Structure 1
Amino acid sequence: MGNNWMIRAGRGGTYIEDFETKGYAAIGWSKLGDLTQYKTNDALKEAYLREFSQAKPQAMANAVAMIVKFRDQIQKGDTIISYDTETRQYLVGEDQGQYLYKPDEVGDYPQLRVVNWQGRVDRDMLSQSAKNSLGSVLTLFSVNDDVIAEMRAALEGKPRKVEATEKALEESGSFELLKDEVVGKSHELIKDKLASLLPEEMEEMVAAILRAMGYKAKVSPKGPDRGVDVIASPDGLGLTQPRIKAEVKHRDGAMGAPAIRGFIGTLREGDSGLFISSGGFTKEARYEADRCTFPLTLVDMDDLSDLIVAHYENFDFEGRALLPLIRVFWPAE
């Protein structure tokens, strides 16, 4: 049994009709020319760097990996699928074992593989788990055998039978798992962006969060006393409570009890303390915070990410410039 591959027909399935009528699956990267000229993967990487010099290292690695799969790893007899976003149907076929370079044959996707397309499968005929596994936005990725088995059965007019109770459980469970996976990945990506900020930028980020929460906040002037980095209050003058004093430690590792005690020493009656550490806190530090007589909250990187997501809609220009994010809508059910 061969391997199975999804090859997307351009953004939004632009070239799906060309795929089906001309008997091809195709990818872009036209600047690279005929891929057979690159005898080694290193030669391909060098050419990619020349032609796409602005690409980030991870993006380059992903692209080269997909190009190599398309040229070398797809073999005769492998199952190829593509997706028509307009009709919500999957095109199913079999690779014929031939790579071609033909500019202008399929739009601006000159890298071709000859495919014998065998039919279409409605997305609604697939189980929810199969739909979820086909959700990757990559141009080319492998597909597991179970999904292909469902598609083959549907092509033969024998769609997978699922009892109503099983279907409800499957869709609910898979849906929640997928949602949790997406939220988890986005959470980690936000943390990656936060980790890349300079210490001074992290102070500005904390001030932006407090402003988004309804306070008037500003970063304290730099000076010999670095005990308080951000000051916030309802009036911006510190004359009304809560009066928040924040200490920000970024790229300094986990904070211990001495750092917390030092910060507590800067707090006065009417103050609330906020200690942010991107490196987290030791158990001793958390114990020290718990026994503090002033209101004191410790915020690690996970907490900071949660605060940003919760209040990002109210971020001002300065905050959004530090951490540009986009909203992703998700079905309620």
Structure 2
Amino acid sequence: MKRGWMVRAERDGRLYDVFKERSVVAIGWHELGSLTDLSSREAILKRVRQTWPDLKQQAAAMSAGQLHRFRNEMKPGDTVLTYDPRRRIYLAGEIVGDYRWDSSIDPQDPNVRPVHWRGEVSRDLLAVTSKNSLGAISTLFLVPDDVLKDVERARTSHQPANTESEEQAEAAEEDIFRNIQAKALEFTKDRVSGLDWSDMQELVAGLLRALGYKTRVSPAGPDRGKDIVASPDGFGFEAPRIVVEVKHRQGTIGAQEVRSFLGGRHPQDKGLYVSTGGFTKDAYYEAERANIPLALMTIDELVESLVEHYEKLDLETQQLVPLKRIYWPA
């Protein structure tokens, strides 16, 4: 079965004109040497590990996977695309030969496949869903059949997609944004979950400082049911006095642990219980009937609050979970 592939022409489309003029697509990893004698993913992965013994396991697997696809899975007759981001133009063609090592194409990208190019396609002519699929940043990836059909339609008709109304296009863009936003939150939760206990405690304290409180963090050891005390004066004399317990573990917090936390509180206190492992239903019931205001915060709520107030965090807290701002069309 014929398939479709996207092969990036290096950063900023540096090799786009070379691909077009030399009728090829090419990828890098030149340090590995020729892949001609490597007919399996396992053999390529072994070479990757031999060449870069300090490379992380996931990075090695990803590199081997892309090289295996280029060397062994791409076949003559498959469709191939590349992209020039400067002009926002896709070049569409067909693989017409087997893999070869050819450093004359580019010394950094000597792994080569010959291509017959059919023509160029403006990104503006494609449907929003196609633009999204082609927006992945991997060096090499499979292109869905419906996207290939849309590219071919645009190449032959030179007309924009007419199946999408303005409302449909906006809805598709919003879906893409929500998907990216959800992934960003999940990756941020992964980073927060990877903190050790003391850093998690400092993260919660930093968030409270961003909200305008001064904090005292308990040292390691018995803390009599409190990890952080937050208040306007920093000593806990001035109301509101927020007493915080932080549990950084996979297991859920139950009602008994919530009752133990409440047991040492003063009537004027307010409580915050943070658990990265979540809470049981009974724990929430116990919090609702507590004799002081008590909020239960899961890792979801912690990360959402972290993102919302990130710009107000002090530098030490931001360095615990470094985040980058991205911009999206309004």
TM over 0.5: yes
**Aligned pairs (5 A) from 1:1-333:** 2-157=2-157, 159=159, 161-162=161-162, 166-332=164-330
Deviation at 1:160, TM superposition (A): 5.5
Q: Letter of the aligned partner of 2:83 in structure 1?
A: Y
Q: Letter of the aligned partner of 1:84 in structure 2?
A: D
The 3-state SS of whatever aligns with 2:36 is: helix
Q: Letter of the aligned partner of 1:128 in structure 2?
A: V
Residues 129 and 170, structure 1, Cα contact 8 Å, conserved in 2: no
Deviation at 1:107, TM superposition (A): 4.9
Q: Letter of the aligned partner of 1:63 in structure 2?
A: S
Q: 1-side partners of 2:94 and 2:170: how far apart? A: 33
The 3-state SS of whatever aligns with 2:252 is: coil
Residues 215 and 234, structure 2, Cα contact 8 Å, conserved in 1: yes
Deviation at 1:220, TM superposition (A): 1.0
The 3-state SS of whatever aligns with 2:97 is: strand
Residues 44 and 64, structure 2, Cα contact 8 Å, conserved in 1: yes
Q: CA RMSD in A?
A: 1.6
Residues 216 and 235, structure 2, Cα contact 8 Å, conserved in 1: no
Q: What TM-score does the superposition give when structure 1 sets the normalisation length? A: 0.95
Residues 257 and 284, structure 1, Cα contact 8 Å, conserved in 2: yes
Q: Cα–Cα, structure 1 residues 225 and 219, in superposed 2: closer, same or farther, change >3 Å?
A: closer
Q: 2-side partners of 1:87 and 1:21: how far apart? A: 17
Q: Deviations over 1:253-278 (max 9, x none)?
A: 10000000011112213221110001
Q: 2-side partners of 1:158 and 1:88: how far apart? A: 15
Q: Deviations over 1:230-263 (max 9, x none)?
A: 1111221222222111100111510000000011
Q: 2-side partners of 1:108 and 1:62: how far apart? A: 19
Q: 1-side partners of 2:299 and 2:136: how far apart? A: 28
Q: Cα–Cα, structure 1 residues 137 and 200, in superposed 2: closer, same or farther, change >3 Å?
A: same
Q: 2-side partners of 1:100 and 1:234: how far apart? A: 69
Residues 90 and 120, structure 1, Cα contact 8 Å, conserved in 2: yes
Deviation at 1:38, TM superposition (A): 2.4
Deviation at 1:17, TM superposition (A): 0.9
* Range with greater deviation from structure 2 (76-85 or 132-141): 132-141
Q: 2-side partners of 1:230 and 1:31: how far apart? A: 52
Q: 2-side partners of 1:223 and 1:62: how far apart? A: 42
Residues 7 and 80, structure 2, Cα contact 8 Å, conserved in 1: yes
Deviation at 1:12, TM superposition (A): 1.5
Residues 150 and 159, structure 1, Cα contact 8 Å, conserved in 2: no
Deviation at 1:329, TM superposition (A): 1.2
Q: 2-side partners of 1:116 and 1:218: how far apart? A: 68
The 3-state SS of whatever aligns with 1:156 is: helix
Q: Cα–Cα, structure 1 residues 139 and 226, in superposed 2: closer, same or farther, change >3 Å?
A: farther
| Ranges of 4+ aligned residues in structure 1 off by more than 4 Å | none
In percent, how many aligned pairs have the same letter?
41
Q: Letter of the aligned partner of 1:236 in structure 2?
A: G
Q: 1-side partners of 2:254 and 2:233: how far apart? A: 33
Q: 2-side partners of 1:129 and 1:267: how far apart? A: 54
The 3-state SS of whatever aligns with 2:239 is: coil
Deviation at 1:192, TM superposition (A): 1.0
Q: 2-side partners of 1:55 and 1:208: how far apart? A: 34
